[in-house]
Amino acid sequence: MSNLKYVKFERVPLGKNTEYNEIWVQSRIAEDPTILGLGELILKDKERFQPKAGRLDILLQDPESDRRYEVEVQLGSTDESHIIRTIEYWDIERKRYPQYDHTAVIIAEDITSRFLNVISLFNGFIPLVAIQMHALRCGDQISLDCTKVLDQMVLGLEAEGEPPEIVVDRAYWENHATKETVELADRLLELIHAFAPSVQLNYTQYYIGLAQDGRTNNFTTFQPQKRALRLEVRLTKSEDVDKQISEKGLDLTGYTKWGSYQIRLCKADVKDQAAFLAELMKRAYEESLE
């Protein structure tokens, strides 16, 4: 029997709280951006000056990619001005720094269904994430609980059989990521050649895909990063595959809306789990032929 004891947490309203105010909340997020549930992000700036538009609460960045998050915090319920300000800051940052991908993040204690519906209208066109945040107290301890209530919608990949929108070369990815992580894609291609010897790498701006006999066949894609490689295997989701990935100790980061397992691989993973990764990619290849 578990030794854990049930503890009831008390909600602490922050809207008019003089001690746990917006500055306090911003400081907690700045100290540990992972509490937002957006990944292993790092703090880029806080109270960032925006020309003729005030100050952006928090700017976060993903160290493994070129994505930045423009974060606005609203204590109490979200309102029209909060939405407008968040989108405005996102727009300023993306125009000033177009070399990065940008995502707007709205944080509020209460995101009502009305405003959630309004925010949803922008999603897919403006990359937008909404997070509902609560302060919880137990005894003399207090914590922030963050729940993502609206995730960024990714407008999908190009249709199968069509050429990539923007073609690049190997040097692009070696500069964008590292030679070492691009070489992990080479190693995975060697595994693919065991069952599909004519498949070759197809370098595009957003990922390294695959082509066979002159036609795109992205049953597997690769996205080299600075310290790892993101592998996407287009395979029907199943509990069996989920369990196998977990048992192998691989870092499963998600399952996309277009039907791909996302796995973050380091060099050791590619070496130690070569047989299993080859099996996954072979199953994806066979599904692509059905």
Domains recognised in the chain with CATH numbers? 10-150 (3.40.1350.10), 170-289 (3.90.1150.200)
pLDDT score for 2: 64
Beta bridge partners of 148: 131
The reported pLDDT for the residue numbered 89 is: 92
pLDDT band, residue 156 (cuts 50/70/90)? very low
The better pLDDT of the pair 121, 157 is held by 121
Confidence grade of residue 162 (pLDDT, cut at 50, 70, 90): very low
Would strands 220-224 and 199-203 be described as parallel, antiparallel, or unpaired? Answer: unpaired
Contact predicate 104/89, CB 8 Å? yes
Q: What average pLDDT does the segment 222-244 reach? A: 90
More confident residue, 58 or 100: 58
Mean pLDDT of 79-100: 86
pLDDT digits (tens, 9 = 90+) for 13-67: 887 778 888 889 999 999 999 999 888 889 999 999 887 778 999 999 988 777 8
Q: 143 and 20 in contact (C-beta within 8 Å)?
A: no
Least reliable range by pLDDT among 69-83, 92-106, 112-126, 197-211: 112-126
d(CA 285, CA 83): 43
Counting residues of the chain whose pLDDT is more than 90, the rounded percentage is 39
How many CA atoms within 13 Å lie on the side-chain side of 158?
16
* pLDDT for 139: 86
List Cβ<8 Å contacts ≥24 apart for 233-240.
233/260, 233/261, 233/263, 233/280, 233/281, 233/284, 234/258, 234/259, 234/260, 234/284, 234/287, 234/288, 235/259, 235/260, 235/261, 235/280, 235/283, 235/284, 235/287, 236/287, 237/261
Is residue 232 within 8 Å of residue 223, measured between CB atoms? yes
Q: pTM for the complete prediction?
A: 0.54
Residue among 35, 83, 28, 39 nearest 61 (CA): 39
d(CA 167, CA 222): 15
At residue 164, does pLDDT exceed 70?
no
pLDDT higher than 50, residue 158: no
pLDDT beyond 90 at 84: no
Per-residue pLDDT for 165 more than 50?
Answer: no
- Per-residue pLDDT at 160: 43
pLDDT digits (tens, 9 = 90+) for 123-143: 667 888 888 888 899 888 899
